[in-house]
Structure formats: structure tokens, C-alpha cells
Amino acid sequence: MSNFIIETQDLWMQFGSKVALKNLNLSIEAGGIHSIVGSNGAGKSTLFKLLLGVNTPSQGECFILGQNSQKLKPQDRGFIGFVNEEHTLPEWMQVTTLIDMEKSFYPQWNNDIYKQVIGNFNVEKNQKINQLSRGERAGVNLASALAKRPKVLILDEPTLGLDVVAKQAFLESLLFTEKNEECTVIYCSHQMDEIERVTDQLIIMEQGQLISASTPDKFCEKIHYWVVDYPNNIPESHLIPGLLQQKNIEGEIHYMVIDQDDSLKELFSNLGAQSAFHSEVSLHQAVNGFLSRNHHKPETEIAHV
Amino acid sequence: MIQIVTGDARPIFKQIVDGIRMQVITGELPVGSKLPSVRGLSMQLTVNTNTVAKAYTELLSHGLVESRKGLGLFVIQPKQILNEQERQDRLEIAVNTLINETIGLNLKNDKIIDLVKSKLAQLDDKKTQ
């Protein structure tokens, strides 16, 4: 058995002619918060459905907690938490009825954790689910997921549509509620400010493939921004190595590049640049530049980094 | 008070390092004072505890704080890690920045120098207190 809490091996998923996952090989070590980012349709939600054993892969295998996702036993499932953006809950139930039911299913239920988390949200236990706001539903969902003391907790865009107060409560609960030492959180979001605050490991997916896995800082260090002034001709973009993005702003050329060192300055000068101004990028810029690179240069192959 | 800005080119751990360093320089955190616990500062800033831990590791390696077993991290008298030449180089860079920032202000040189002197004197006063 491997040390990975989640592992996929040559995983393919096809819906008709549409390929959602393309030979995905992903290994996630136990512990910490692993954030998955990618454009819409990158295959994140498909991956989660396969990991949870809801869907069957077209090819390949995936493992969660060392078990094949297709053969999960109820006791394995008991240690896998899942919170999605819909916060789907039985509408007709009272919060307290729902929680009593959940408690009875999970022997490891920890009521102190439930109370601590639900206390961050303004939820009365006798309220009916259908009277709860989006943020309160998110609170009930997260509190119940954490109280089950999961070994792996998958959060699929959990803060989508939450107001600032609910979002803050959600992030605080996620970051600071006492968890199993080995609890691994898989966090999927498009909100880069959240990603920056919570992430230990950043996983980037694109077109059903794994593109990058590293710490956010390491990822940012690979990407640089240059503003270059060419008084005469602008060189063709294929001459710029590692180019992710090129924009012409008021006659100056803005480049975002990957895996290049300072020698680029010399290259710009050889290409006729009068000046070249370098800056670091934020995580937001780095991810955005990286994911949008194919929109700007459709002819390039996806570079594995 | 440290402020975290997401979307900044400086990663969050670096912002924490810079923020604490600035507090030490200004005397807001005098020698001997205790840094907040990793968990405490993480909660205050709503960031991953590992991020604060990383910032604290960097402060330790820079010799700005020391760890006292079971008690936490404390600001210490800065040790002399840099040699004479390195210190001279750093000073050059810092002074160049100062000149860059002030050149457009059309101030008399004396005015700039007087302010630098009075700020340094203030720091000396704080240290001797």
C-alpha cells in the first residue's frame, strides 16, 4: 500500500466523445491542505466523483485512503468527508434532527467539534433546513463534516456565493478546528485570495490533466513579469522562451514567462529592446497567466512543469 | 499590527516576516518581547498555521528572534551576522532607495539629513530606555 491518501493511476473519464480526465496521475500525501485550481471544465468535479466511487472510470484506477474507490466499504466512507457548493441537505428536516441522524451513523462523531464550528455560524438548532441562508447551510455542512473527524475532507467550491461574514466563518472553521493529525483537506476553489490563505500544496489541473504540483511559493517563483520597450520592431513571440502571456499596452510589451532567469534581459536587448523592467508576480497573477496561456498561443503544447 | 494583503507579489509568509521586522525596527516590538503563538497569529490573520510557522522559521534563521523552550519566540538583540563589506553594501542599497524616493520632492539636502538624524536619535532613545 502506498503512503498517499489519494492516488490515481492512468485515470481516464469520458462522457460520450468528451474527455473529462485524460491519463491523470495524481498522488496526494497525507496531511495539510491541498488546493486544486483549474479553469471550469478542467476535470476537478469529475475527479471527486470518481474518488468517492459515485462514478466508474472509463480507464485506470483511483485510490482513496489506500482503497480502490470502486470498492469502498461503509467503514472507509465513514472517514471521507465531502462538502460541495450546493450544500445539499434534506430541506424538510430541522437542524437538530439532521444532526441526531448523522451522529447515529458515525461512531467517531465529536459533538464538541460540531458545537465549536456551528457556533461560528448563526444557526439555531430548531430551525428548519429550508429556512437557512446559504451561509448557514454551509455552516451546518462543514460542522457536520468536521465532527465526523474525517481522514480526508474534500471541499468542492464550498464558499461559492457566501457573503463576507459566512466566508470568514467558513475559513476560520476550516483552518482552526481541531482535526485529526493526519486529516488531509482537498480544497477546490476559484477564489485566489482563499487559496493563498489556506494552501499548503497547490495542484493545477487543466483539460483533465495534472499540470503542476508544488507549494504556492515555488509556483510563483517560476513565473516572472517583464515590461519591455521596443522602439522599432516588436519581435515575434516565438522568439521569447517560456512565454505564457503577451500583451501590448500603450506601445510597451508585457510578457509573463515561466522558468526563465535574468538572462532574458540580455535577450530582450539583443531583440532591440531599449529597456526591460522586471517584476515578481502574485499567486493570482501566476495562476491566471499560466491558465490563460493557451488562449493567447493556441499553437503551443501544454508544458508540464 | 501586521496586515496581510492577498494578491501581492510577496507571499504571505514574507509579508509576515517583513511586518514583524518592521515592528522590531520601530521599537513596537522591543528586545525581549514575545511573538504571538503560531496559532494565535494565524487566527488573527486567517491564514494557514504552516504559513506563520514558515515566517517564524525565517525570523529565527535571520537571528531576529530566539526560541525559548516551552515559552515561545522572543525578540533578541540582533547578532552580527554580516561582515563589514556586506553591511556597507546593504547601507548603500538602503541609501540609494532613500535618495530615489526623495529626489522628486525638491527638498534641501540638509532637510533630508536632519530628518534621518532625528529618526536615528529616536531609535537610540528607545534602545536605551
> Are A175 and B46 in contact (CB < 8 Å)?
yes
CATH for B60: 1.10.10.10
CA distance B7 to chain A (A): 5
Residues of B in contact with A168 (CB under 8 A): 46
A184 Cβ contact partners less than 8 Å away, ≥ 6 residues apart: A5, A6, A28, A29, A30, A31, A32, A34, A151, A152, A153
Residue ranges in chain B whose pLDDT is less than 70: 79-82, 126-129
| In a domain? residue B2 | no
In chain A, CATH 3.30.70 covers 219-296
Cell numbers describing residue A152? 480526508
Co-location of B16 and B47 in the same domain = yes
At position B113, the amino acid (one-letter code) is I
In chain A, CATH 3.40.50.300 covers 4-214
Co-location of B108 and B55 in the same domain = no
CA distance A253 to chain B (A): 20
Do A6 and A186 meet the contact criterion of CB atoms below 8 Å apart?
yes
> Are A176 and B39 in contact (CB < 8 Å)?
yes
pLDDT interval class at A180 (50, 70, 90):
low
* pLDDT tens-digit map of A224-244: 999 999 999 999 999 999 999
Q: How far is CA A146 from CA A121, A175, A234, B97, B123, in A?
A: 14, 11, 55, 50, 49
Q: Is A200 on the interface with B (CB under 8 A)?
A: yes
Chain B: residue whose CA lies nearest to A217? B11
DSSP state of A48: H
Chain A: residue whose CA lies nearest to B9? A282
Co-location of B26 and B65 in the same domain = yes
* pLDDT tens-digit map of A11-40: 999 999 999 999 999 999 999 999 999 988
A182 vs B114, residue with greater confidence: B114
- Rounded Cα distance between A138 and A81, Å, is 14
Co-location of B38 and B65 in the same domain = yes
CATH of domain A4-214: 3.40.50.300
* Test mutation, B15, B37, B46, B47, chain A, max A CBs within 10 A: B46
Choose among A33, A171, A282: nearest Cβ to B9. Answer: A282
Residues of A in contact with B57 (CB under 8 A): none
CATH of domain A219-296: 3.30.70
At position A129, the amino acid (one-letter code) is I
Do A64 and A1 meet the contact criterion of CB atoms below 8 Å apart?
no
* pLDDT tens-digit map of B19-39: 998 888 888 899 999 999 999
Domain residue limits at B40 = 12-75
> Are B46 and A168 in contact (CB < 8 Å)?
yes
Q: Is B57 on the interface with A (CB under 8 A)?
A: no
Residues of B in contact with A33 (CB under 8 A): 48
Q: Is A199 on the interface with B (CB under 8 A)?
A: yes
Alpha helices in A65-207 (DSSP H): 74-77, 95-105, 111-118, 134-147, 164-176, 192-198
Residues of B in contact with A193 (CB under 8 A): 6-7
Please give the ipTM for the structure prediction: 0.81
Do A89 and A98 meet the contact criterion of CB atoms below 8 Å apart?
yes
Co-location of B54 and B90 in the same domain = no
- Rounded Cα distance between B37 and B15, Å, is 17
- Rounded Cα distance between B106 and B119, Å, is 20
Cell numbers describing residue A43? 476535470
Domains in chain B, number: 2
> Are B46 and A199 in contact (CB < 8 Å)?
no
Please identify which residue in the block is written with the cell numbers 532607495: B97
- Rounded Cα distance between B96 and A39, Å, is 43
* pLDDT tens-digit map of B93-109: 889 889 888 888 888 88
CA distance A94 to chain B (A): 31
Co-location of B32 and B59 in the same domain = yes
Q: Residue A135: is it exposed, middle or buried by C-beta count within 10 angstroms (0-12/13-18/19+)?
A: buried
| In a domain? residue B1 | no
pLDDT interval class at A299 (50, 70, 90):
very low
At position A63, the amino acid (one-letter code) is F
pLDDT at A300: 43
Residues of A in contact with B10 (CB under 8 A): 280
